[in-house]
Chains A and B, each alone.
Chain A
Amino acid sequence: MLAKLAWNGMKSKRKDYIILLAGLVMSIAIFYMFQTLALNRDFTSENAMISSMQLVFNVGSCLLAAVTFFYILYTNMFLLSLRQQEYGMFMLLGAKKQYIKRLMFVENLLIGIIALIIGIAAGAGLSQLTAELIMGQLDVTLEGYQPFYLPSLAVTLLFFLVLFFVTAVWNHIKLSRLQVLELVHAETKSDQVPQQPKKNIVTITAGILALAAGWLSLIFMESLRELGVFSAAIMTTLGTYLLFSSLLPVITNAMKKKQKWNENGIQSFTLSQLTFRIHSLKKLLATAAMLIALGAGAISGGMAFKNNAENIAERSAVYDAVVHSPTAEEEEILEDITFTEAAEYRYKKGEEYNYYLKEDLEKQRPQIQLTTDNVKRVEADLPDQEGSLEEVEEESASIPNEWSQFLTMTAAEDYSRRPLIVSNALYDDIEAEEQVVFIGKADDFLAYRDQWAKLDELREEKLASSEEVMASTSKYSMYENYNTIATGTVFMGFFLGIAFLAMMASCLMFKVLSGAAKDIPRYEMLRKIGVPKKLLNQSVFKELFLVFLFPALLGITHVLIGMNMFSFIIVNPYYRIWISLLLFTTIYVLYYLLTVKMYKSVVLPEEK
């Protein structure tokens, strides 16, 4: 009988239960999603560029488990708040506490199990979808990734069953301690006085120190190695939590204290709502900041590996195209490309040497790459050849370094012949077919990927039919080779990034929406005393904007500093980082607007 009443009670709070279930399902789905990568060692070790990838996954698993743990605790508190008044009422009317406790326990586990079933199904679907999406975007197929992976399933089941059991027991104990009246009045008790934040210098200092330690570990990751991974993860997290819980109330309070802001229209309401709420929000916001850091960091990391291909190619050669005696077909392709610099050098092939025409070199001085970041135009004088071809060959070592670097590294089709520079007269006497090498630098290397690929293909065909043995590698093939190795890492970065961001979204949204019901009377009253809807709208936008702003700021700072971590393996980790940040910001803004919309639908229902 009571069970039926309890079920009816649940049905009447359908909206709240949907929020609760959605929160649980998301956390389970994301946990599972993460585990499909973390536990699939064959896949990760096969595809990662970093040898300690497994360690990264292990640390990530721990962080995610901790976040999930607190998330579940929080959803549980919400569940309890939904139920205690009703259960208190039952007890008041004479139901046995023992029975109520059992009812609560069963309800807890039941919700957990339902969430687990939906969550794992959603997780598998989400993994499949995300994997396909990323592979589609990257235009690759990676073997070995399994969206439905049994070990991950087992770990997820175990982890959450234990969690749900713990929370059920916890509720059981909590229920035993509470008096009937406390339960009945549970709802009204939540109206507390806003606490005056203590300026806790100790916590703030500890937070700053921990954050500094975390950031330093990120910056010096290369020399700290494994230790760095651990200290960065622990110290950054600790610092974020300490700083948020000590500083946020102080900041919002200071904003409210500023009378010019506070005593101005609806702002007084907005700011006091925020100050009021910040105490219950600060830990969650710290969590959100960490998840943003992990999510945006993973995406930026993946993106950095992807962009690195271009940098690697850029460092491998100055010129994008090197074509020897272009065929008609090759000419046609070259036509399509806009070159910012192009040159043609005539040469003849001998037994041991390539003879380059001095005149062409003189007229079109090329650029060479001295060190990784140092590109210059060749300035050295060309050697004067007075004597015969034999004498010139004897002095082959006297070619200035810059010229020989260009001729062997860029202009040569085959490393087996050494270069010689000869005057017109000598050149004419050499009995060999005249060859020409075209070199060119395009206005945008990445824009002509199809053309480079085609050129490489044609070159391959030409080489296959000749007896050349030590053919040089093209800039495009350097790019392609790197891309192939990096793809797995890029995939993991994007995959984890999406998982972490979804977790963050789910946490923040759950918190905002689960508290929304309590705000309804406030907005109702404001509407009654004549606050125009426009102002109330503004207030919601502003309040949630600030709520979203704080974690984003710190999270992005973490990312910007954390990218240093990759400097040992990536040419420039910050190259085009704005793209990933823009991507993140877009997702985040969309998600902010969605939350505003959902929150508004609760507190500011449309009038007919």
Chain B
Amino acid sequence: MIDSVVNVSNVSKVYGSKGENQFQALEEVSFSMQEGEFIGIMGASGSGKTTLLNTISTLDNVSRGQIEIAGTTITEMKEQALADFRARKLGFIFQDFNLLESMTVYENIALPLFLQKMGRGRVKEKVQHVADILDIRDILSKYPAIISGGQKQRTAAARALVHNPSIILADEPTGALDSSNAASLLETLQRLNEEHQVSIMMVTHDAYSASYCERILFLEDGQLYKQINKNGTREEFFKNILDEQAEAGRKKL
């Protein structure tokens, strides 16, 4: 298939080396993600969400299985090539923003472009373009320490977006935001996805955040046990997710 951006097949991840107390964090996980999809990954704490995202984002290697992103099999690549791949094809949004407080908002967003040695004129153009989309044009010259949490996260989103990555990976992006800032960020992500066809994969444990996605993958003890699609309004989807969570809770009892 040409139009799938991510292809995960039979991925397992075991922490700890042989002989020590090993821990299987992922077990035979397989799924694929179409271009322009907005996928959510949900599951209880410790179910392996971050681990899955980290393997896809090439930050962690897998024990078994294969991952393909935009036609490249990343599980066979070397460290050097992986860094380059991350820099060109992936965009990251972290829970705690991870902005460099020694640089202005503009510089923070432009950093991936500086690293590609892009010309100054084009950098400016691109940064202003994403700043417009994310509505942070007025704070470009400020330093992260004096902007709000919502603005910080939108800055981080702009940095993730500025170099036109194939996919944006977000681990609990709303984790450090209050509900109105969270809603605004999620709306922005949704808009990016719908209007600009950006592929997004987001880890969350919160049903409200998840309801902005088109498809949700559920993880339990490292296994992918269910997925549900959005087939109607967001409110209906939200209910579906809550039901699913309740179901999972009941099973545990």
Contacts and interface: CB of A to CB of B under 8 A. Distances in A.
Please provide the 8 A-B residue pairs with the shortest distance between their CB atoms, ordered closest to farther: A530-B87, A530-B86, A276-B102, A525-B98, A272-B102, A532-B83, A193-B143, A272-B103
Contacts of B114: 263-268
Interface in B50-85: 57, 59, 79-80, 83-85
A96 B160 CA distance: 47
B2 interface: no
Interface in A244-300: 259, 262-269, 272-273, 275-277
B100 interface: yes
B100 A266 contact: no
Given A192-B145, A263-B120, A529-B86, 16 more contacts: A191-B144, A263-B123, A265-B115, A268-B110, A272-B100, A272-B102, A272-B107, A273-B102, A522-B100, A525-B98, A529-B90, A530-B115, A532-B80, A532-B83, A532-B84, A607-B79
A245 B92 CA distance: 38
A95 to B, nearest CB: 29
B107 A529 contact: no
The interface centre, meaning the residue of A262, A532, A535 with most chain B CB atoms within 10 A of its CB, is A532
30 contacts: A191-B145, A192-B101, A192-B145, A193-B101, A193-B145, A259-B120, A263-B120, A265-B114, A268-B111, A268-B114, A272-B102, A272-B103, A272-B107, A273-B102, A275-B102, A276-B101, A527-B83, A528-B57, A528-B59, A528-B86, A528-B92, A528-B98, A529-B92, A529-B112, A530-B90, A531-B115, A532-B83, A532-B84, A532-B87, A535-B115
A533 interface: yes
A521 interface: yes
Nearest to A273: B102
Nearest to B17: A608
B234 to A, nearest CB: 30
Interface of A: 191-194, 259, 262-269, 272-273, 275-277, 521-522, 525, 527-533, 535, 607
Interface string B110-125: 1110110100100100
Interface of B: 57, 59, 79-80, 83-88, 90, 92, 94, 98, 100-103, 107, 110-112, 114-115, 117, 120, 123, 143-146, 159
Nearest to A267: B114
Contacts of B112: 529-530
Q: Which of A193, A259, A267 has the most CB of B within 10 A?
A: A193
B141 to A, nearest CB: 11
Nearest to B100: A522
A263 B120 CA distance: 7
Contacts of B80: 532
A276 B101 CA distance: 9
Contacts of A529: 86-87, 90, 92, 111-112, 159
Contacts of A525: 94, 98, 100
Nearest to A277: B102
Given A193-B146, A194-B102, A272-B103, A265 B83 contact: no
Contacts of A531: 83, 87, 115
B233 to A, nearest CB: 35
A259 B83 CA distance: 26
B214 to A, nearest CB: 26
Given A191-B145, A193-B146, A269 B86 contact: no
A530 B120 contact: no
B102 A263 contact: no
A522 B117 CA distance: 21
Contacts of B92: 528-529
Contacts of A259: 120
Given A265-B117, A268-B114, A269-B111, A530 B102 contact: no
Nearest to B88: A530
Contacts of B110: 263, 268
B165 to A, nearest CB: 10
Contacts of A277: 102
A187 to B, nearest CB: 13
Contacts of A265: 114-115, 117
Nearest to A534: B80
A269 B114 CA distance: 10
A269 B115 CA distance: 10
Contacts of A535: 115
Most buried by B among A259, A275, A277, A528: A528
A276 B103 CA distance: 8
A277 B103 CA distance: 12
Contacts of B107: 262, 268, 272
Given A272-B102, A531-B115, A194 B87 contact: no
A488 to B, nearest CB: 51
B116 to A, nearest CB: 8
A543 to B, nearest CB: 11
A58 B236 CA distance: 83
A277 B87 CA distance: 27
A529 B87 CA distance: 6
Nearest to A192: B145
B87 A269 contact: no
A579 B157 CA distance: 56
Residue among B80, B86, B159 with max Cβ neighbours from chain A (10 Å): B86
Nearest to A525: B98
Given A263-B110, A521-B98, A535-B115, A530 B143 contact: no
A529 B92 CA distance: 7
A525 to B, nearest CB: 4
Contacts of A268: 103, 107, 110-111, 114
Contacts of A192: 101, 145
B87, B107, B111 pick with most chain A CB within 10 angstroms: B111
Nearest to B54: A528
B117 A264 contact: yes
Nearest to B102: A276
Contacts of B84: 530, 532
A531 B84 CA distance: 7
A318 to B, nearest CB: 64
A397 B79 CA distance: 92
A269 B102 CA distance: 8
A191 B114 CA distance: 24
B173 to A, nearest CB: 14
A268 B104 CA distance: 11
A264 B118 CA distance: 8
A536 to B, nearest CB: 10
A440 to B, nearest CB: 66
A193 B115 CA distance: 24
A532 B59 CA distance: 13
B63 to A, nearest CB: 14
B5 to A, nearest CB: 17
A512 to B, nearest CB: 16
A535 B146 CA distance: 29
B98 A533 contact: no
A535 B79 CA distance: 14
A602 B117 CA distance: 28
A200 B184 CA distance: 43
A130 B108 CA distance: 49
A277 B100 CA distance: 13
A378 B74 CA distance: 87
